């Protein structure tokens, strides 16, 4: 039995209200833009208006003469500041994985300010530093840049072709890598299967839109060569290491603090030019430097997500039993590699077979450079794309063989398993019970009844038709086993760390290597600690997001925090218990074997009143008056957990829509999400993650899309033209859970941060497509805007 379900759990499993909230609801939070330092100056970045242009000259003289201006620099002016370009931690070579690769990965050069060419509209070409936000902004308009515009490489397929404008001249073409993997005998399976389905899906680029824009503040102590960096980042630890390498500053002289951070969704899982530039300028000027992103700037200067074209093929029997999946991707890298740009498609590479029992698999992805904002991790990262492809294709297969979408899934699920289970793509799933999630979701939504209502509406022939969409997803998260990361050519580890410090007064400090920005780790970690050590959540203080306080950490992304950092905490409390037990036995004058942990204390078996609590032991460990021989004073432990496998959350979502076939408008009538994230520490927080994740997935399915014009300018460049949905657009979400404990860690936890965003887009689009079946519509692309739906209906009519 896992920890989370162990008898006597008082706090784990409860919807404990968040300890984070009081400062956030009263305006006492401290985001980067809330911080001000004496002598602070403001930085503004001058950005290219061209998607692709040679930089003939940058003249900052006029800007330097403007009121309040302290300095202005071009890319060439700062060239000597950098020991290396901006980091990419996941260089992907061309290879058939896991075979060794012959040639080094092709890596585009990425300086914090462009020197020779501007490679996307928004590429930084100069910085202006002034005594106020307004002066810096005013003066930026006086920087004169002489551009020689070049043809841009924009369309993904055209950019991949020979003869396209080349984004990075030294690479010769825009194709960065082709990475593939196979399992089983895909060619044989496809040749011998009577039913073949081929689908093509496009994933537009998405703009992450964390409500807090990015921001950086750097305080130098010039005389010591020391710097403190506050950044709106998900990754203070990774940022510290990479800043040290990029700027040639000893890592021990850098302290990175992620203060309160206003959402990330992957967009703050990066090392950005502005972070490096603020530090370089602060070092050069010896003054504190601050940069705060405008929202319109965020649309071009913060990474985008998705941007993939997929060709997916299914091989099946006449009955619809799936045998093989083959998929080929083109993935838009944008103009440069950011921190993990080329690796994002690989996070989905193993998952295009979904939750289905298949015998053969082939995945192939080509990464392509274009003259657009770099892409990188956006909530789900690779896995929403994989889930969308297989779940849309499963519906296509259902139509092809004349089966109901629920029936085709039920026929093909991997049967329930609670030991690691190999899949054709080559990973071991940790545990799963997919059919139970489907059953629960269908029951909650009232599936059979809905199908009857749908039939009645179809028979009635009215304008408003019902559609029911299913999506069964699985994701790999809990990033990650370090050895697997190494095999995938990722240059960092996947472990995380926790320190537990028991104070003599009975209070506990937990230091975590994760870096929450809305996920509620302070509360959840307090619950885990409280149950493990027999204290209350209020007795526990959780510290995070400051490399001086928590030097060991790998930060927060990829739904990893609980299943890696939380498990590290579990192990650290285990070490505390081991030591406390030794001391307790000594004080109670019994052997350790005579003690049991019950009701929050070590008790003598058969004489439960003879007991010692952890706070009592913490006090005696601190006085050290009578410790057993060889036991050090103090009660503190550190643990670093490197998981042996990924975790694999899964679930089934059902979306019910009403589509107005005259206007193309879609309304979501019901949304049911049944998720399985293994054991649950705080159900309130888990539900909140599902709500937010599903909302983002619905936004992806129905509203959001980065649209470019022919010159390579982002047309949807603000919250006015890019539709981040409000409360008025989104439905209430009905949630439930199944619990299949993970076999990857002793807590049985899997992770929930991205599940909603992964499961929901195909549920919504499948629902819209389902509503349009009687009209002969066979495909509809996301986002399913009224215009797209209306056009799909019209095209189907014309084709008949």
Partner 1 sequence: MKAISVTVNGEQHEAEVEPRQLLVYFLREQLGLTGTNVGCDTSTCGSCTVLVDGRSVKACTLLAVQADGAEVTTIEGLGTDGELHPLQRAFHEQHGLQCGFCTPGMIMAALGLIEENGALDDEAIRAGLEGNLCRCTGYQNIVAAVRAASAELAGARS
Please enumerate in sequence order all residues whose Cβ is within 8 A of that of 715, keeping only pairs 6 or more positions apart, or say none: 707, 708, 709, 721
Q: Which is nearer to partner 1, 411 or 673 (CB)?
A: 673
**Binding map of partner 1 across residues 671-690, x = CB under 8 A, - = no contact:** -------------xx-xx--
Does 26 contact partner 1 by CB under 8 A? Answer: yes
d(CA 354, CA 474): 6
Whether residue 783 is preceded by a cis peptide bond, meaning omega within 30 degrees of 0, is: yes
Answer for which of 518, 651, 741, 783 binds partner 1 (CB under 8 A) is 518
Stretch that binds partner 1, among 357-365, 529-537, 544-552, 730-738 (CB under 8 A): 730-738
Alpha carbon dihedral 477, 483, 486, 488, in 10-degree steps, equals -50
Residues 784/764, Cβ–Cβ less than 8 Å:
yes
Q: What separation in angstroms does the CA of 343 have from each of 89, 264, 332, 338? A: 9, 19, 12, 10
Q: How far is the CB of 700 from partner 1 (least distance, A)?
A: 12
Q: What separation in angstroms does the CA of 229 have from each of 30, 275, 303? A: 14, 8, 21
Q: Which is nearer to partner 1, 530 or 694 (CB)?
A: 694
Backbone angles phi, psi at 435, to 5 degrees: -65, -30
Does 551 contact partner 1 by CB under 8 A? Answer: no
Name the DSSP letter for residue 565: I
Does 728 contact partner 1 by CB under 8 A? Answer: yes
Answer for which of 81, 123, 199, 212 binds partner 1 (CB under 8 A) is 212
Helix (H, G, I), strand (E, B) or coil at 189: helix
Q: Which is nearer to partner 1, 173 or 471 (CB)?
A: 471
Answer for which of 8, 22, 57, 194 binds partner 1 (CB under 8 A) is 22
Q: How far is the CB of 728 from partner 1 (least distance, A)?
A: 4
Q: What separation in angstroms does the CA of 590 have from each of 345, 582, 600, 628, 629? A: 57, 10, 19, 12, 15
d(CA 721, CA 706): 9
Q: Which is nearer to partner 1, 20 or 676 (CB)?
A: 20
Instruction: Tell me which residue of 310, 283, 186, 149 sits closest to 227, measured CA to CA.
Output: 283
d(CA 768, CA 752): 26
Please give, one letter per residue, the 3-state secondary structure of 162-207.
Answer: CCCCCCCHHHCCCEEEEEEEEECCHHHHHHHCCEEEEEEEEEEEEC
Residues 210/263, Cβ–Cβ less than 8 Å:
yes
Beta bridge partners of 229: 218, 256
Does 141 contact partner 1 by CB under 8 A? Answer: no
Beta bridge partners of 147: 55
Stretch that binds partner 1, among 205-213, 325-333, 626-634, 775-783 (CB under 8 A): 205-213
How many CB atoms are closer than 10 A to CB 548? 12
Residues 509/503, Cβ–Cβ less than 8 Å:
yes
Answer for which of 153, 327, 681, 695 binds partner 1 (CB under 8 A) is 695
Stretch that binds partner 1, among 121-129, 187-195, 722-730, 761-769 (CB under 8 A): 722-730
DSSP letter string over 202-255? EEEEE----SSPPEEEEEEEGGGTEEEEEE--S-HHHHHHHHHHHHT--GGGEE
Does 20 contact partner 1 by CB under 8 A? Answer: yes
Q: Which is nearer to partner 1, 537 or 600 (CB)?
A: 537
Does 24 contact partner 1 by CB under 8 A? Answer: yes
Q: Which is nearer to partner 1, 763 or 772 (CB)?
A: 763
Does 265 contact partner 1 by CB under 8 A? Answer: yes
Q: How far is the CB of 598 from partner 1 (least distance, A)?
A: 32
Residues 777/769, Cβ–Cβ less than 8 Å:
yes
Instruction: Tell me which residue of 661, 217, 309, 680 sits closest to 462, measured CA to CA.
Output: 661
Does 733 contact partner 1 by CB under 8 A? Answer: yes
Tokens of 93: 């070579």
Answer for which of 67, 98, 109, 134 binds partner 1 (CB under 8 A) is 134
Q: Which is nearer to partner 1, 177 or 299 (CB)?
A: 299
Site for partner 1 in 269-308 (CB under 8 A): 294-296
Q: How far is the CB of 28 from partner 1 (least distance, A)?
A: 7
Beta bridge partners of 428: 422
Does 520 contact partner 1 by CB under 8 A? Answer: yes
Helix (H, G, I), strand (E, B) or coil at 264: coil
Does 430 contact partner 1 by CB under 8 A? Answer: no
Stretch that binds partner 1, among 108-116, 243-251, 442-450, 727-735 (CB under 8 A): 727-735
Name the DSSP letter for residue 350: T
Does 31 contact partner 1 by CB under 8 A? Answer: yes
Residues 749/732, Cβ–Cβ less than 8 Å:
no
Answer for which of 730, 747, 749, 777 binds partner 1 (CB under 8 A) is 730
Does 669 contact partner 1 by CB under 8 A? Answer: no
How many CB atoms are closer than 10 A to CB 22? 11
Q: Which is nearer to partner 1, 22 or 57 (CB)?
A: 22
Tokens of 668: 């979501």
Does 517 contact partner 1 by CB under 8 A? Answer: yes
Answer for which of 93, 213, 600, 678 binds partner 1 (CB under 8 A) is 213
Q: Which is nearer to partner 1, 112 or 753 (CB)?
A: 753
d(CA 408, CA 439): 13
Residue 736 parent element (H or E): strand 734-737
Q: How far is the CB of 91 from partner 1 (least distance, A)?
A: 31
Does 260 contact partner 1 by CB under 8 A? Answer: yes
How many CB atoms are closer than 10 A to CB 59? 15
Q: Which is nearer to partner 1, 249 or 694 (CB)?
A: 694
Beta bridge partners of 639: 498
Q: How far is the CB of 67 from partner 1 (least distance, A)?
A: 12
Answer for which of 34, 59, 251, 642 binds partner 1 (CB under 8 A) is 34
User: Which ranges of 287-433 does DSSP label H, i.e. alpha helix?
Assistant: 295-301, 383-401, 405-412
End-to-end alpha carbon distance in the chain: 60
Q: How far is the CB of 723 from partner 1 (least distance, A)?
A: 10
Does 727 contact partner 1 by CB under 8 A? Answer: yes
Size of the residue set binding partner 1 (CB under 8 A): 58
Q: How far is the CB of 68 from partner 1 (least distance, A)?
A: 12
Q: Which is nearer to partner 1, 241 or 666 (CB)?
A: 666
Stretch that binds partner 1, among 32-40, 88-96, 464-472, 771-779 (CB under 8 A): 32-40
Does 211 contact partner 1 by CB under 8 A? Answer: yes
Q: How far is the CB of 19 from partner 1 (least distance, A)?
A: 10
Q: Which is nearer to partner 1, 51 or 730 (CB)?
A: 730
Q: Which is nearer to partner 1, 93 or 693 (CB)?
A: 693
Does 38 contact partner 1 by CB under 8 A? Answer: no
| Residue whose entry in the numeric block shows the structure tokens 């993970």 | 742
Stretch that binds partner 1, among 37-45, 235-243, 261-269, 554-562 (CB under 8 A): 261-269
Q: How far is the CB of 133 from partner 1 (least distance, A)?
A: 8
Q: How far is the CB of 776 from partner 1 (least distance, A)?
A: 34
Instruction: Tell me which residue of 332, 347, 203 sits closest to 266, measured CA to CA.
Output: 347
Does 519 contact partner 1 by CB under 8 A? Answer: yes
Does 25 contact partner 1 by CB under 8 A? Answer: yes
Q: Which is nearer to partner 1, 343 or 693 (CB)?
A: 693
d(CA 757, CA 736): 16
List residues binding partner 1 (CB under 8 A).
15, 17-18, 20-31, 33-34, 36, 133-134, 209-213, 260-263, 265, 294-296, 517-520, 684-685, 687-688, 691-696, 718-720, 724, 726-728, 730, 732-733, 756
């Amino acid at each position: 039995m896992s920890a989370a379900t162990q008898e006597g759990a008082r706090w784990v499993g409860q919807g404990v209200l968040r300890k984070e909230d009081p400062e956030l609801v009263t305006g006492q939070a401290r985001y980067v833009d809330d911080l001000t330092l004496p002598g602070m100056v403001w930085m503004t970045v001058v950005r290219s208006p061209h998607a692709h242009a040679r930089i003939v000259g940058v003249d900052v003289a006029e800007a330097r003469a403007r009121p309040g201006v302290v300095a202005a620099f071009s890319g060439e002016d700062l060239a000597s500041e950098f020991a290396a370009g901006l980091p990419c931690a996941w260089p992907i070579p061309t290879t058939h994985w896991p075979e060794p690769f012959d040639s080094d990965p092709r890596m585009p050069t990425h300086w914090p300010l462009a020197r020779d060419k501007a490679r996307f509209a928004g590429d930084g070409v100069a910085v202006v530093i002034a005594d106020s936000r307004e002066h810096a902004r005013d003066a930026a308009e006086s920087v004169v840049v002489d551009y020689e515009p070049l043809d841009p490489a924009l369309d993904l397929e055209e950019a991949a072709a020979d003869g396209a404008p080349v984004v990075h001249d030294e690479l010769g073409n825009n194709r960065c890598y082709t990475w593939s993997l196979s399992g089983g005998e895909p060619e044989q399976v496809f040749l011998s299967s009577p039913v073949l389905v081929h689908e093509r899906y496009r994933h537009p680029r998405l703009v992450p839109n964390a409500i807090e824009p990015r921001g950086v503040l750097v305080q130098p102590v010039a005389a010591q060569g020391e710097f403190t960096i506050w950044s709106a980042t998900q990754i203070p630890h990774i940022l510290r290491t990479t800043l040290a390498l990029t700027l040639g500053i000893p890592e021990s002289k850098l302290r990175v603090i992620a203060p309160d951070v206003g959402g990330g969704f992957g967009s703050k899982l990066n090392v950005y030019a502005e972070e490096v530039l603020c530090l370089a300028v602060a070092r050069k000027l010896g003054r504190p430097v601050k940069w705060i992103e405008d929202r319109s700037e965020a649309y071009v200067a913060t990474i985008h997500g998705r941007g993939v074209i997929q060709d997916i093929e299914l091989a099946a029997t006449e009955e619809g039993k799936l045998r093989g999946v083959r998929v080929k991707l083109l993935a838009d890298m944008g103009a440069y590699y950011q921190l993990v740009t080329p690796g994002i498609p690989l996070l989905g590479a193993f998952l295009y077979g979904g939750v289905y029992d298949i015998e053969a698999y082939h995945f192939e992805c080509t990464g392509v450079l274009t003259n657009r904002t770099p892409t990188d991790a956006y909530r789900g990262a690779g896995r929403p794309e994989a889930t969308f492809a297989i779940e849309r294709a499963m519906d296509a297969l259902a139509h092809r063989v004349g089966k109901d979408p629920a029936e085709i899934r039920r026929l093909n699920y991997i049967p329930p398993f609670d030991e690691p289970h190999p899949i054709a793509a080559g990973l071991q799933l940790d545990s799963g019970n997919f059919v139970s999630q489907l059953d629960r979701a269908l029951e909650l939504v009232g599936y059979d009844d809905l199908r009857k209502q749908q039939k009645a509406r179809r028979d009635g022939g009215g304008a408003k038709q019902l559609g029911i969409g299913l999506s069964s997803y699985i994701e790999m998260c809990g990033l990650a086993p370090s050895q697997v990361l190494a095999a995938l050519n990722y240059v960092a580890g996947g472990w995380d760390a926790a320190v537990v410090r028991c104070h003599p007064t009975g209070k506990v400090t937990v230091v975590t290597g994760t870096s929450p920005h809305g996920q509620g780790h302070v509360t959840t970690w307090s619950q885990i600690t409280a149950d493990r050590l027999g204290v209350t959540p209020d007795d526990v203080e959780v510290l995070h997001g400051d490399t001086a306080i928590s030097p060991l950490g790998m930060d927060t992304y990829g739904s990893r925090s609980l299943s890696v950092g939380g498990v590290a905490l579990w192990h650290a409390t285990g070490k505390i218990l081991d030591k406390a037990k030794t001391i307790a036995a000594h004080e109670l004058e019994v052997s350790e074997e005579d003690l049991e942990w019950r009701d929050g204390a070590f008790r003598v078996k058969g004489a439960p009143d003879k007991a010692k609590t952890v706070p009592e032991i913490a006090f005696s460990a601190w006085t050290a008056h009578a410790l057993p021989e060889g036991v050090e004073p103090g009660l503190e432990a550190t643990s670093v957990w490197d998981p042996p496998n990924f975790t694999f959350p899964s679930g089934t979502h059902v979306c019910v829509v009403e589509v107005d076939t005259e206007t193309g408008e879609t309304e979501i009538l019901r949304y049911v999400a049944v998720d399985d994230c293994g054991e649950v520490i705080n159900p309130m927080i888990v539900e909140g993650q599902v709500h937010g994740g599903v909302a983002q997935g619905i936004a992806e399915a129905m509203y959001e899309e980065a649209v470019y014009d022919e010159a390579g300018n982002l047309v949807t460049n603000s919250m006015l033209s890019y539709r981040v949905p409000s409360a008025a657009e989104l439905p209430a979400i009905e949630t439930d859970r199944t619990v299949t404990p993970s076999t990857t860690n002793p807590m049985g936890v899997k992770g929930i941060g991205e599940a909603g965003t992964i499961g929901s887009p195909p549920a919504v689009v499948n629902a819209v497509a389902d509503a349009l079946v009687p009209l002969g519509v066979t495909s509809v692309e996301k986002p399913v805007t009224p215009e797209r739906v209306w056009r799909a209906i019209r095209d189907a009519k014309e084709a008949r």
